[in-house]
């Protein structure tokens, strides 16, 4: 097991490669109520694994984005009320990023904030969603517009969960891992290049190395300033175009798949500016393709993508800007971009 410290308003540890059931056992002795919030596909398994104890309430939420709704939040509040949860009780969130987001938000709003532990069960959840203290939900106005900063007291990344994850979700999670490699830790890229996708999936040792390195990258960024968006922006490498592609695909593409396309785009953008060499662009394509991730998007979508990016920037009250590399492991921001330049770069990644 590898433990990584995250400094926040209240610091905590991410335990990579732990056994989540043994880790929660000590909490059972000291808390009067424990709420296990679990996504529905994992609920049956979790009911079998968690000891039967009258102090434990298991709350099932719909899988994925559907679970990040006001309806789910209300039902969680009702269950917490019914079981009599007080400020000294504990919520344990078991699921992908969507589940840890809504469960963390329920914990942050119940009695103005009670303790919670994140047990991420997807690769994306382990390396991204469960680390950093952001919790939230969707609303009719958009994704993740409502939320809070409420760090968990612990993140338990038990790699056993990854065994049942679909190949597609594993690859989508690898996109965020590769992102961490390009922005801060090139050893991640070496590890992925030296091993096939099957080898990466099949080896606990390699997975542990990739997950812990990625968590370290995210922890280093969020620990510099917990709520500061500017410092965190580096984690948005590939996300400016990526978000637009994700939305344009009507969420047919996984978040990680869209980010993969977005990373090739910003690599081409940086190369066009002479910030990185073509070799680094080729490295993006090769490594993403080796993980079964897409590296191109349809040509006809450009006007729509531009529109979405412009709306996004307006919603965030910021200018249209891109995180780009100045070398592997080094980043900067580009704000002085114009539409002809952006289209010219898009033509290099479209089909
Ligand atoms: N809070 C943050 O800082 C942050 C950062 C990044 C992403 N997010 C959020 O995370 C969410 C995406 O997370 P995700 O990619 O984990 O998706 P997800 O939570 O939607 O899970 C993907 C799918 O995998 C299934 N699943 C989960 N664990 C499994 C397992 N062990 N075996 C088999 N199937 C399993 C789920 O039921 C779901 O169908 C989005 O809602 C996004 O907004 C939050
Ligand atoms: Zn992301």
CATH of the domain at 14: 3.40.50.1970
Judge if 173 and 120 occupy the same domain: no
Residue, of 227 and 167, whose pLDDT is higher: 167
Ligand number, closest to the Cα atom of 173 = 1
| Residue 351 covered by a domain | no
Judge if 185 and 291 occupy the same domain: yes
| Residue 275 covered by a domain | yes
The C-alpha R_g of the chain, in whole angstroms, comes to 20
Judge if 150 and 248 occupy the same domain: no
Judge if 211 and 294 occupy the same domain: yes
Q: What is the mean pLDDT of the chain?
A: 95
Per DSSP, which regions of the chain are E strands?
2-6, 12-16, 34-39, 56-61, 90-95, 115-120, 134-139, 142-149, 154-157, 322-327, 330-334
Q: What is the pLDDT of residue 315?
A: 65
Helix axes 239-248, 302-316, angle to 10 degrees: 120
- Say if residue 292's pLDDT is above 80: yes
Distance CA 48, CA 183 (A): 41
| Residue 153 covered by a domain | yes
Number of domain units in the chain: 2
CATH of the domain at 223: 1.20.1090.10
Distance CA 148, CA 109 (A): 9
| Residue 100 covered by a domain | yes
What are 98's two structure tokens? 């969507």
- Say if residue 153's pLDDT is above 70: yes
Tell me the residue range of the domain where 132 lies.
2-163
Judge if 46 and 120 occupy the same domain: yes
> Closest by alpha carbon to 297, among 332, 268, 334?
268
Global confidence as pTM:
0.96
| Residue 30 covered by a domain | yes
- Given 142, 163, 184, the domain boundary residue is 163
Pocket test for ligand 1, best of 40, 97, 159, 246 (most atoms within 8 A of CB): 97
Judge if 126 and 181 occupy the same domain: no
Using alpha carbons only, give the angle 160, 166, 171 rounded to the nearest 5 degrees: 95
Judge if 198 and 315 occupy the same domain: yes
Q: Work out the average pLDDT over 176-189.
A: 98
Residue 153 in 3-state DSSP?
coil
Judge if 238 and 257 occupy the same domain: yes
| Residue 229 covered by a domain | yes
Q: What is the pLDDT of residue 174?
A: 98
Cα 84 to middle of ligand 1, angstroms: 29
- Report CA torsion sign: 114, 119, 121, 123: positive
Q: What is the pLDDT of residue 143?
A: 84
- Given 163, 187, 211, the domain boundary residue is 163
Report whether 30 contacts 170 (CB < 8 A). no
Ligand number, closest to the Cα atom of 148 = 1
Judge if 249 and 180 occupy the same domain: yes
Cβ-count burial 309-339 (b if 16+ within 10 Å, e if not): beebeeeeeeebbbbbbeebbebeebeebee
Neighbours of 148 (CB within 10 A): 15
| Residue 329 covered by a domain | yes
Lining ligand 1 with CB less than 6 A are 39, 41-42, 63-65, 68, 95-99, 101, 121-122, 124-125, 128-129, 132, 134, 144, 161, 164-165, 169, 255
Distance CA 5, CA 311 (A): 36
Judge if 35 and 145 occupy the same domain: yes
- Report CA dihedral (43, 48, 53, 55) to the nearest 10 degrees: -10
245-279 tens-digit pLDDT: 999 999 999 999 999 999 999 999 999 999 999 99
Judge if 111 and 208 occupy the same domain: no
Report whether 128 contacts 176 (CB < 8 A). yes
Cα 54 to middle of ligand 2, angstroms: 38
Using alpha carbons only, give the angle 259, 72, 118 rounded to the nearest 5 degrees: 60
> Closest by alpha carbon to 134, among 152, 109, 153?
152
| Residue 52 covered by a domain | yes
Judge if 234 and 303 occupy the same domain: yes
């Amino acid at each position: 097991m590898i433990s990584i410290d995250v400094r926040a308003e209240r610091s905590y540890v991410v335990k990579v490669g732990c056994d989540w059931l043994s880790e929660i056992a000590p909490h059972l002795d000291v808390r009067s109520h424990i709420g296990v919030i679990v996504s529905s596909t994992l609920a049956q398994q979790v009911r079998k694994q968690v000891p039967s104890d009258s102090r434990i309430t298991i709350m099932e939420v719909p899988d994925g984005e559907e679970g990040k709704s006001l309806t789910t939040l209300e039902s969680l509040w009702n269950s917490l009320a019914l079981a009599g949860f007080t400020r000294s009780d504990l919520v344990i969130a078991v699921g992908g990023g969507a589940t840890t987001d809504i469960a963390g938000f329920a914990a942050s709003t119940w009695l103005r904030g009670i303790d919670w532990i994140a047990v991420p069960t997807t690769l994306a959840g382990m390396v991204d969603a469960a680390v950093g203290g952001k919790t939230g939900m969707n609303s009719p106005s958009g994704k993740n517009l409502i939320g809070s900063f409420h760090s968990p007291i612990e993140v338990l990344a038990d790699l056993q969960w990854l065994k049942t994850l679909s190949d597609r979700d594993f690859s989508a999670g690898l996109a965020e891992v590769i992102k961490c490699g390009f922005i801060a830790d090139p050893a991640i890229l070496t590890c992925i290049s030296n091993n096939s996708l099957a080898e990466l999936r099949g080896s606990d040792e390699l997975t542990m190395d990739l997950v812990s390195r990625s968590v370290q990258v995210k922890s280093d960024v969020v620990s510099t300033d917990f709520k500061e968006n500017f410092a965190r922006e580096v984690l948005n490498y590939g996300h400016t175009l990526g978000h637009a592609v994700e939305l344009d695909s009507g969420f047919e593409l996984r978040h990680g798949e869209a980010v993969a396309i977005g990373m090739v785009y910003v690599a081409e953008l940086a190369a066009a500016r002479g910030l990185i060499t073509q070799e680094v662009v080729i490295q993006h394509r090769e490594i993403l393709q080796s993980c079964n991730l897409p590296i191109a998007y349809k040509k006809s979508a450009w006007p729509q993508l531009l529109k979405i990016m412009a709306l996004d920037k307006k919603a965030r009250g910021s200018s249209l800007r891109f995180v780009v590399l100045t070398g592997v492991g080094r980043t900067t921001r580009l704000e002085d971009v114009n539409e002809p330049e952006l289209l010219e770069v898009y033509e290099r990644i479209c089909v």
